[in-house]
Chain A
Amino acid sequence: MKVNRNFIFNIISIAIMIYGISMVPSLVMAYRYNENELSSSMFIIVISCITAGVLGYKYLSSRLTDVQTRIYYITTIITWVLLILLSTIPYLTCGRGYSFIDCLFESTASWTTTGACAIANSDLPLGLKLWRASCNWMGGIGIILLTLAFLPRMQFIGQRLASTEIRGPNFLMSTITFRKAYRRILMLYSASTLLQYVLLRFAGMTRFMSLLTALSNTSTSGLQHLNGGIIVALSAKIKIIITVFAFLSSLNVGFFIAALAGKGRRLIKNSELNLYTVELVLVTLLITVSTTITNGGGKVLSTLGNTLMQVISFISTAGYIVAPCNEWNSFSISLVTIVVFIGACAISTGGGIKMSRAVYAIKTLSHNVYSLVHPHSIKTIYYNDEPARSEDITETKLYISLFLLIYICGSMLLALDGYDVYSALNYSQAMLTNLGTPILAQSGAVVSSTNGFAKVVMSFLMICGRLEIYPVLMLFSVNLWTRKKK
C-alpha cells in the first residue's frame, strides 16, 4: 500500500513541478506589464510549486512492480482535480475579485481544452491570458503524459498510466514502442505549435496574439483571446492557417507517427481517417448546398470555403466561429450537431465520442443486422484489417451509450438551473464534447450570466468529456478506494 501511495504522490509532485515551471512565462509576462498583484502571487506559486515538486520527486520515488489498474485511475483523477484547483489560485489572487466558481470554471475550461469562459477574455490581465493558453496547451496533450517525461524508466507503467488519460480507445499503431511513440508525440505537438506561431507571425499577427493562438489552437481549445472566439473579421490568410492547424490537431497522432515511419501508404486504407474525411467533405457539401438554396444562389465558392472552415472548427471541437453560421437553416444545424457528437479522431486533442468509436459502431451495427438473418453465424469484425476484440466492441458501444446518458443528465441539471430546453441541450453538448461554443449561441462561448450551480455542472461535464467519463464515474465507486475485490 505504501508503495502505491508513494507512486501516486510521486506522479502528483512531478505534475506540480511541471505546473510551476509552466507558469514562468506567464509570470514574466505579468511582471513586464506591471501587473504587480498577479506577478507577486504567481511568483509565490512558482517558487512553492517547484520546491514542493522537486522534494516530492526526489524523496517519494518508488519502484512500482505489480499494481491494480485502480492506482492508475486514482493517480489520473487526483492529478487532474488537484491541478484544476491549483490553477484557480492565479485567477483568485490577481486582484480583480473574481468569484471562486468563475475561477473554477475558467480553470476547468482551460485544462479540458473546452475554451468556454466565465470571465470575458478581454478583461483578463495579460499574464492570465497567457496562463490560460498554457493550460490549454498542457491539457491538450495531457498532464499525465507530460509527467512521464520525468519517469524515463517506466515503459509499461507509463503506457498504462497514459492510457487512463488519452482520449479515445487505445488504438495507437503498435509498430513502435511506447517510448518512441511518446517522444514523437511530444515532438510533433511542440513542432506544430512552433510552426503555427511562425506562420501566424508571417501572416501579420502580433507576437503575443500569435503565441496565444498557437498554444490554444494546437490543443483545439477555441480562440477566446481573439474577439471571444468570433474570428469572422480576421484576414483570410490567418483564418486558413488556424483552420489547417485545427484540422491537423484533430487527427489521430498515430497517423503522423506512421507517416514519419514511412508507412504513409497504409494510411490510405485506414478506416478512421477515411470516414473522417468522408464525413467532413459530405457535411460541408450538404451544408453548402442547403445554404446556397436558402440564400437563393450567391457566391457558391466563398460559401463553400466558409462552410468548410466552420465545419472543421466544429468537427475538431475547437469551436471558434469563423463563418456567419447563425444564418444556417435547421437542416445544417441538425447535421452539425451530429458531427460535433462524433467529434475528432481518437488520440487527438479534439473531443466528442471519437471517430474510431463511430467506425466500430457502424461495423458492429451492420454485423448485428447480419446476425439477425444468420443467428448462428460467427463472423469477425475487422478494424484496419485486424480482427477486433469483442471486449473492445462492447466497451465502445457502452461508451457511446454512456456518453448520451451523461449528455441527457447534464442537460437536465442545466435545465434545473433555469436554462430552456434548447440551450440546455446545446450547452451540455458543448461542454461534454469540449467544443466550448454551443452551436448557434449568440454570445459565443461566454457563460458569465449563469449562476453557480450551472457552472459547476458544466465543469463536471467538461472533465467527463476530457477524461472520457470513466475516471470521473469511478470517483463515486466504492471499489476505487478499497483494496480488495468485492
Chain B
Amino acid sequence: MNKRVLHFFGIFLVFIGGCQCIPLIFALAFGEYREAGAFLISIAICLVPGIAVRTCFRTAVSDEKLGLRDSYCIVAVSWILASIFGALPFMLTGVTDDYFLAFFETASGFSTTGATIFPQVEALPHCILIWRALTQWLGGMGMIVLFFALLPKFGVKASRISNAETPGPIQRKLTSHYANTAQYFYYAYIILTIVLAVLLKIGGMSFFDAIAHALTTLATGGFSTHTGGLSYFDSSYIYCVIGIFAFIAGTNFALFFDLLAGKFKSIIKDEEFRFYLLIILCSTLLISSYLKATGAMDSFFSSLSSALFVTLNTLSTLGFEVGNFTMPPFCLFILIFLMMIGGCSSSTSGGIKVSRLLMLFKAVKKEIRQRIYGTVTDNTKYNNKKIDKNNVDYILSFTILFTVVVGIATIIISAFGGGDVLNNLLSVLSCIGNQGPSFDNFGLTCNYFTDSRICIITYTFVMIAGRLEIATFLVLFSSHFWNPNKA
C-alpha cells in the first residue's frame, strides 16, 4: 500500500480522536466522570497509533503520487476505520459489552442510518448520546471531504474524493477548486445546524436535546435522545421544524448558493429539485387521501400534515421514530418506494437519489422512442445539458448493483438470522438507503438487536456501502483494485 495513504490514515485517526473531545466536554459538563475517563482512554487509543503511524511515514509525504485508486482506498478504509475506532467509547463506557454491536451502532451513526441496538436510549449517558449524534453529523456531509476542506494542501484532489464520497451521480462545482466548494458546503451545513438548534430550543426542547436533534436532523440520520423518537416531545411545532429541515437536508446543497446569489430562477428550473417536489407532492396526496378515505384519520388537515411529515421523514432518509404509527399496506409501499429513492444528489441523504430516478425515466422515454422509430438522435437532456451516454450507463449499473446488494444481503440475513423474509428485506432496504427504522411488524422501530454476529456485520457493511454509493466500497473487494495491471 502507498505510504502516503498510511500517513493519511495516521492523521485521520488523530482526527477521530480529536472529535471525541466534544463528548468528553459534555461528559464533564454533565458530571459523568466515569464516562469521561472512558472517553479519555478512547482518545488515547486513537491518538497513539495515529501519531505513531503518522511519524513513521512522515518522510514519505513528498515523493509519492496519489492516484485514483488511492482515493477510493482512502475513502472506503477511512469509513471502516472511523467505525472501528468510533465504537470504542461504547465499549469503554460499558453501555454494551459486545464489540460487534458497538461497531454496528457507530457505522449506523457515520452512515447516517440511525438504526440502533439500544432498546432504551434514555438509559445512556449524555456523552454517549452526543457522540452518537456527532457521528451522524460528521458522516452526513462526508468526513473525508471535510478533512480535505480543512487541509487543502494535502495533495489529494478533493474532487476525486468527493466523487467517491458525496452522494449523487453528478457533482456540481461551485468554485474553481473543489476544496473551496467543500468548504462552502460545510459553512452552509454548520449555519443550518445552528439555526435548527435555536429553533428547536425555542420549541421547548432542552438545550441538550436541541443540539442532539439538530445534529442528527441535518445529517438525515435519525438518532434520537429518547426511545420514542419525536413522539416523546409531542409538539406539532417540533414536527413542523424537523419536517422543514428534513426537506432542506434532502435537497442539493449547491442550490443554497444559488439562493444566496439570488438566482431563484435557476433553483426553480433545476430538474432534480422539481422532480423532488413532485415526488413529495404526489406521495403526500396519495397517503393523505388514502388515510382519509379509509377512515384511519378523521380530519383532512391531520391526515395531510402527518402524510407530509412521514413523506419528508422517509424521502430525505431521516427516519426518526414517530411512535406507534401503523400504516396500511398501500402507504407502506409508498414509503418503501420513497426510502429507495432517497433525496437529491449532493445532499446528506441516502438511497438511489432523485436525479438517478429522473435519468432512468428519461432513458426509458428515449428507449421507447427509439423502438417506435427505429433510429432517433439521442438528445436527452438534464438541466439543459446533454447527458453523457456513459453517465446513463453508470446510473443503470448503480440501480442494478443496488438491487443485487439488497438481494444478497437479504439472503445472508435470512440464512443466518432466520426470521421472516419480508422483514429481512425491509431491514436491508432501510439500511442500504441509510433510513434507519425498519417496518418491523408494520410499525416503525429502529431496533436491530439480534444475536447473530454475521447479521450484524452484514447490516454494518450494507450501511457503509449504501452511504458510499456502493461502488466506492465494492471496488475495495475487486481484484482489479489490488492488482491494477490485471486486464
Contact = CB atoms under 8 A, between A and B. Distances in A.
Interface of A: 68-70, 73, 290, 329-331, 333-335, 337-338, 361, 364-366, 368-370, 372-375, 390, 393-395, 397-398, 400-402, 404-405, 408, 411-412, 415-416, 418-422, 424-425, 470, 473-474, 477, 479-480, 485
Contacts of A473: 364, 368
Contacts of B96: none
B364 A398 contact: yes
Contacts of A395: 367
Interface string B386-426: 00010011101101110110010011001100111110110
Nearest to A338: B407
Best-buried of A329, A330, A416 by chain B (most CB within 10 Å): A330
B79 to A, nearest CB: 17
B330 A479 contact: no
Given A337-B421, A421-B332, A397 B368 contact: no
B367 A375 contact: no
Given A394-B392, A416-B330, A419-B329, A470 B371 contact: yes
A361 B146 CA distance: 35
Interface in B363-382: 363-364, 367-369, 371-374, 376
A474 B389 CA distance: 23
Contacts of A411: 333
Nearest to B332: A421
Nearest to A440: B421
Contacts of A418: 329
Contacts, number: 151
B48 interface: no
A421 B329 contact: yes
Contacts of A480: 372
A477 B484 contact: no
A485 B376 contact: yes
B475 interface: yes
B386 to A, nearest CB: 15
B367 A331 contact: no
12 contacts: A330-B414, A334-B424, A337-B421, A369-B474, A372-B72, A373-B72, A374-B480, A394-B363, A473-B368, A477-B372, A479-B368, A479-B373
Contacts of A372: 72, 471, 475
Contact of A368 (B333, B372, B397, B424): B397
B337 interface: yes
A369 B401 CA distance: 11
Nearest to B411: A334
Contacts of B371: 69-70, 73, 470, 474
A394 B414 contact: no
A290 B415 contact: yes
Given A373-B484, A421-B422, A470-B371, A397 B376 contact: no
A424 B329 contact: yes
Given A373-B481, A421-B422, A412 B363 contact: no
Nearest to A368: B397
A415 B424 contact: no
Given A330-B418, A331-B414, A335-B411, A369 B373 contact: no
Contacts of B415: 290, 331
B422 A422 contact: yes
Interface of B: 68-69, 72, 290, 328-330, 332-334, 336-337, 340, 360, 363-364, 367-369, 371-374, 376, 389, 392-394, 396-397, 399-401, 403-404, 407, 410-411, 414-415, 418-422, 424-425, 439, 442, 471, 474-475, 478, 480-481, 484
B245 to A, nearest CB: 28
Nearest to B472: A372
A474 B368 contact: yes
Contacts of B407: 334, 338
A73 B290 CA distance: 37
A315 B138 CA distance: 46
Contacts of B442: 421
Contacts of B481: 373
A412 B337 contact: yes
B68 A485 contact: no
A328 B407 CA distance: 18
A334 B333 CA distance: 19
Contacts of A398: 360, 363-364, 367, 396
Contacts of B480: 369-370, 373-374
A69 B372 contact: yes
Contacts of A477: 368-369, 372
Please give me the 8 A-B residue pairs with the lowest Cβ-Cβ distance, nearest first.
A397-B396, A415-B329, A331-B415, A330-B414, A70-B372, A412-B333, A415-B330, A331-B414
A236 B230 CA distance: 60
A285 to B, nearest CB: 14
Given A372-B72, A401-B396, A421-B439, 10 more contacts: A69-B374, A334-B411, A361-B400, A369-B474, A369-B475, A369-B480, A373-B480, A394-B389, A404-B399, A412-B334
Contacts of B393: 364, 368, 390, 393-394, 397
